[in-house]
Amino acid sequence: MSKFVITKRSDGEFQFNLKAGNGENILSSEGYSSKAACQNGIDSVRNNARQDERFDRKTNAGGKFYFNLKAANGQIIGTSQQYTTEASRDGGIESVKKNAPDAEVDDQSAA
């Protein structure tokens, strides 16, 4: 079962990772100053994940493929891992579309 995992960074910021059922990270957030802001980021991913136009397909300087998920205002709300092929990247996008809307939240920030 897929889930959003909330963690607290060493600098005190909160972040989430969307993990597929196999435990693989498929989307990571930026840092948030509060847990409430992090939860809002998760809600934004859920709301935007089914809209293909919100996915910005990219290639880095090293030739690896990745994507950003953007909110309606254009702000990046999550970034994927790096993929070796476009097909793998596109599979990651489909995984976010499928898993994000109903993923549970696992808050590990207090641990």
pLDDT digits (tens, 9 = 90+) for 42-80: 999 999 999 999 999 999 999 999 999 999 999 999 999
pTM score: 0.93
As a whole number of angstroms, the distance between CA 56 and CA 66 comes to 9
Q: What is the DSSP string of 83-97?
A: BSSHHHHHHHHHHHH
Q: Residue 1's pLDDT band (boundaries 50, 70, 90)?
A: confident
> What sign does the CA torsion over 20, 37, 65, 87 have?
positive
All domains in the chain, ordered by first residue: 3-107 (2.30.29.80)
pLDDT band at 110 (very low <50, low <70, confident <90, very high): confident
**End-to-end Cα separation, the chain, in angstroms:** 21
Banded pLDDT at 9 (limits 50, 70, 90): very high
Q: How long is the chain?
A: 111
C-alpha 71: how far from its chain's center?
12
User: What percent of the chain lies above the pLDDT cut of 70?
Assistant: 99
- Classified as helix, coil or strand, 19 is strand
